[in-house]
Amino acid sequence: MRAKICLITGANSGIGYETAKGLAMQGHHILMVCRDQQRGAEAQQAIQDQAQNANVDLLVADLSSQKDIRRLAQQVHERYGKLDVLIHNAGGLFGSYKTSVDGFEQTFAVNYLAPFLLTQLLLDLVRASGGGRIIHVASIMQAKQFVLSEAAHPSLRTYNSMNAYRAAKTAVLMMTYHLAKQTEGSGVTVNALHPGVIYTPQSARIVPSFIRPLMKLFMQTPEQGARTSIYLATSAEVSKTTGSFFKATQTARTVPVSYDLEKQQELYRQSMLWTGLIAE
């Protein structure tokens, strides 16, 4: 199998780390995007050692900042001539209301706006690969209704972290389906996935400590959670599949609102404005 250049966000821990490690062990060239230089460097070294693969590069960026995302995209353009695989793995569930440096609700900024902007800035490199794959780590946690203004700027009075997460992940699905149509015929594929119910330090923090041992018994490991991302990144079975949502290796339907073409277009145009890619 030809070695691919694979960029993975949130690659220093959890599913992102296991995805990067798994792809590195297959001999691919890995670009790890991490928020923290030290933790990223430690993860980079661990993957290089375990995979016996020196082609594991570290790029540092805070994906809650659009300025940082632009700097990251510039670095990728300067160093690499193409991207075969772009995996948007970084995300977060925040226990209280926070806003990003750009003024958006933090869950929406990290889980949705970051992959939207990074994809738009790197799409030329994905196209240059001749068969690039864009992969969004989404969720079965989805919103039955989607109101764009509330997703980006929810009311502090009625804020609920799980509702914010559902809205952001539903936006990711809408972006996936819209971008798949935009890139149709180009050789680029765009898919989303549910990694499973995964035990990570972040997921453990949202429950009382006495429940955590039980969580480990019934939840999957990050290594198991990385399998679908690796499958979508490398399998010949899905080389032509685009605009789909995967649970394990099977496609699945998502909430009806995610397929609403008018809402997809509204989300796309507003996201272009919010990220400064077009002017009012």
Active site residues: 165
Residues 61, 35 contacting (CB under 8 angstroms):
yes
Nearest CA-CA partner of 65 in 275, 277, 280, 279? 275
Strands of 189-194's sheet, edge to edge?
A: 56-60, 29-34, 5-9, 85-88, 133-137, 189-194, 244-247, 250-252
Distance CA 211, CA 216 (A): 9
Residue with tokens 């799980």: 162
How far is CA 202 from its chain centroid? Answer: 16
